[in-house]
Amino acid sequence: MSSEFFPDVPVIPLEGSDSKNPLAFKHYDASAKVGDKTMEEHLRFSMAYWHTLRNGLSDPFGVPTAIRPWEGANDDVENAKNRVRVAFEFMEKTGIKYYCFHDRDVAPEGATLTESNSNLDAVADVLLEEQQRTGVKLLWGTACLFVHPRYNQGAATSPYADVFAYGAAQVKKAMEVTKRLGGEGYTFWGGREGYQTLLNTNIGRELDHLGRFLHMAVDYAKEIGFDGQFYIEPKPKEPTKHQYDSDAAACLNFLRQYDLMDHLKLNIETNHATLAGHSVEHELEVAAAAGALGSIDANTGDEMLGWDTDQFPTNIYMTTQIMLSLLKMGGFTTGGLNFDAKVRRESFEPVDLFHAHVGGMDAFARGLKVAHAIIEDGRLDKFVSERYASYDSGLGKQIENGEVGFKELEAHVLSNGEPGVTPSGRQEMLENLVNEFL
């Protein structure tokens, strides 16, 4: 284990809930079993390279504040390679076993595509070496199709075919590198796939182009034998006024319209859900109901602010609800909890990165334990299944099986009259029940 970049931070110990050490786990015990899996297997934590290694913490009003002593003077390949060592030391010390990256997070963009690709290959050599040294794996890769000026009006939905082509070339390479690093998935997040004004926009054509783009990705994956899971990540706005991948329902509709349901699952991000006017558990449930919940970008927003603040998750009630949805659908297969989150601009020291991740991991460990206890207890599940029991037999079953139509149902009403008083929804009782476990 190397201890070059964070000499003052040891491997984060597990000290239990009585510990007052801020850099110790109080709840996350990687090898402890919760039900039939260990915490590590349930939670599959991942570090987001773009935030943890590349976010200088600037905001629209101020310059970067982050102190990152390992950064060289130049944004070159040598510096990028050194940064990989930092990333892996960080993951070794926090016990995070996965990471995610955009092509341009890990290696600098060159003057040409060829140069950018060779930069990426050179850094990928080091990523692979460090993966082998530490056992850390790649949860998913992606391409950054939103920073460079060429993408100012989108990539796959840019009105300009040459820009579409550039985006495709970039994704082709990012998929190849993801495969080389054994990535378990590949994510498409809209970036600038959306519009700023309808006055200059043909939505139908842009959506068709996005559909074509994703089919090309599916075809190319088959061609190179990349068998990782593709994800699409909903977000309603920011940077564009309207992003086409607005929310889980819009993404599912898009996937169905373009015959992509078999190829992509959703990567749900908490702060994107709230930007869309939903809760994260709403988005998770919508995705899971369609059999399409793939992965989670674990962060949180600020209820008072209307933008993507990407804060680290600390709210136990929220992590409990996320874990309830996840456990109900049987847990992750290829996905994980990726901390797509950044420390505040005011938290600029390297050690703040540890506080942030350790806190997020502990918040999810508690959420996991609480959600598991609620499921074991069984009262919540029982209440919900009893609520739908009228569909388990008789008329309800006939409705579900498609055995009756309006005429039969009319006849049923004519002979049975009013349904009678329906049972209470008992929301408050159920909220109290959840609180019993917190």
Active site residues: 102, 105
Q: Is position 184 an interface residue for ligand XLS (rule: CB under 6 A)?
A: no
Give the residue among 332, 398, 395, 396 at the shortest CA–CA distance from 364. 332
Q: Quick one: how many helices (H) and strands (E) in the chain? A: 16, 12
Residue of 25, 49, 189, 339 interacting with ligand XLS (CB under 6 A): 189
Window 257-286: residues binding ligand XLS (CB under 6 A): 269
Query: What CA dihedral angle connects 64, 128, 82 and 311, to 10 degrees?
Result: 20
* C-alpha gyration radius of the chain: 24
Write down the residue that tokens 């809930």 correspond to: 17
3-state secondary structure of 70: coil
Indicate whether 142 belongs to the interface with ligand XLS (CB under 6 A).
Answer: yes
For 300, phi then psi, to 5°, come to -155, 155
Smallest gap, in angstroms, from Cβ of residue 51 to ligand XLS?
8
Q: Does 130 bind Ni ion (CB under 5 A)?
A: no
Q: Is 103 in the site for ligand XLS (CB under 6 A)?
A: no
Compute the C-alpha angle 365/370/375, nearest 5°.
Answer: 125
What's the closest the beta carbon of residue 233 comes to Ni ion, in angstroms?
Answer: 5
Q: Is residue 233 involved in binding ligand XLS (CB under 6 A)?
A: yes
Contact status, residue 12 vs residue 25, Cβ threshold 8 Å: yes
- β-partners of residue 230 are 186, 264
Please calculate the CA angle 28-295-361 and round it to the nearest 5 degrees.
Answer: 15
176 binds ligand XLS (CB under 6 A): no
Q: How many residues bind ligand XLS (CB under 6 A)?
A: 10
State which H helix or E strand residue 376 sits in.
helix 350-377
Tokens representing 301 are 């927003």
- 221-280 positions binding Ni ion, by CB under 5 A: 269
Q: How far is the CB of 391 from ligand XLS (least distance, A)?
A: 38
Residue of the chain from 340, 362, 364, 372 that contacts ligand XLS (CB under 6 A): 340
Q: Which is nearer to Ni ion, 188 or 354 (CB)?
A: 188
Q: Which of 97, 104, 235, 369 binds ligand XLS (CB under 6 A)?
A: 235
Q: Are 100 and 46 in contact (CB under 8 A)?
A: yes
Residue 90 or 146: which CB sits closer to ligand XLS? 146
Count CB atoms within 10 A of the CB of residue 314.
Answer: 13
Does residue 151 belong to the site contacting ligand XLS (CB under 6 A)?
A: no
Shorter beta-carbon distance to Ni ion: residue 284 or 374:
284
**Site residues (vs Ni ion, CB under 5 A):** 269, 297, 308, 340
**Site residues (vs ligand XLS, CB under 6 A):** 102, 142, 187, 189, 233, 235, 269, 297, 308, 340
